[in-house]
Amino acid sequence: MEAGERQNIATFYDALGHKRRILIIEKLLPVPQTGLSFGKLASETGMRPSVLKHHLRIMDRANLLMVQPKGRETRIALSQRARNHLPNLLGLITSS
């Protein structure tokens, strides 16, 4: 395994390494196509905007998110990569 591949794996798992980021994933999984606006996601998670932004930045670095400006709002959805892998991974973890 190359050093870059190890870094990608570490970044991916780091993005899953906090309960607030798992909460964000839980809120985004049911809306794969449309995602949620930043404000709605903050409301649904109960996170202050600065805290949410911090966690979204970490998740974005791991390519787990699609962030799309739409007019005056920003829509946030899970990336195709995240939608492909996270449900199975979270299922394995929670079933043990």
pLDDT digits (tens, 9 = 90+) for 9-26: 888 888 888 999 999 998
Domains within the chain, CATH numbers bracketed:
3-94 (1.10.10.10)
Q: What is the pLDDT of residues 13-70, one digit of tens each?
A: 888 889 999 999 989 988 988 999 999 999 999 999 999 999 999 999 999 999 998 8
Question: In this predicted structure, what is the pLDDT of residue 16?
Answer: 86
CA distances for 86 relative to 49, 50, 56, 71, angstroms: 24, 25, 16, 29
Instruction: Count the Cβ atoms, other than its own, within 10 Å of residue 90.
Output: 15
Q: How confident is the model at residue 8 (pLDDT cuts 50, 70, 90)?
A: confident
Instruction: State both tokens at 68.
Output: 């799309």
Q: What pLDDT shows up at residue 96?
A: 52
The predicted model scores a pTM of 0.85
